[in-house]
Amino acid sequence: MILGELEKLALNYFWTVSGADAKQVHEYFSEQRGGSLNTIQTTLDRLFKKGLLDRQKIGHAFHYSAANSRKAFIGQLILSVTQDFVSSDEDNLLAAFVSLSSDLDDQQLSELEATIREYESKKPDRGSKS
**Domain assignments of the chain as residue spans, ordered by start:** 5-66, 85-122
CA distance linking residue 30 with residue 26, whole number of Å: 6
Class level of CATH domain 5-66: mainly alpha
Q: What share of the chain is helix, strand, coil (3-state, %, to 5)?
A: 55, 10, 30
Residue 130 has pLDDT above 50, yes or no: no
Among 66, 61, 70, 69, which residue's Cα sits nearest to residue 24? 61
Of 3-7, 72-76, 86-90, the poorest mean pLDDT is in 86-90
Is the model's pTM score more than 0.85?
A: no
| pLDDT recorded at residue 18 | 93
| pLDDT recorded at residue 79 | 81
Bigger pLDDT: 11 or 121? 11
pLDDT in tens, 3-32: 999 999 999 999 999 999 999 999 999 888
| pLDDT recorded at residue 28 | 93
Count CA within 13 A, CB hemisphere, residue 88: 0
Bigger pLDDT: 122 or 10? 10
Vertex 98, ends 95 and 103: CA angle to 5°?
Answer: 140
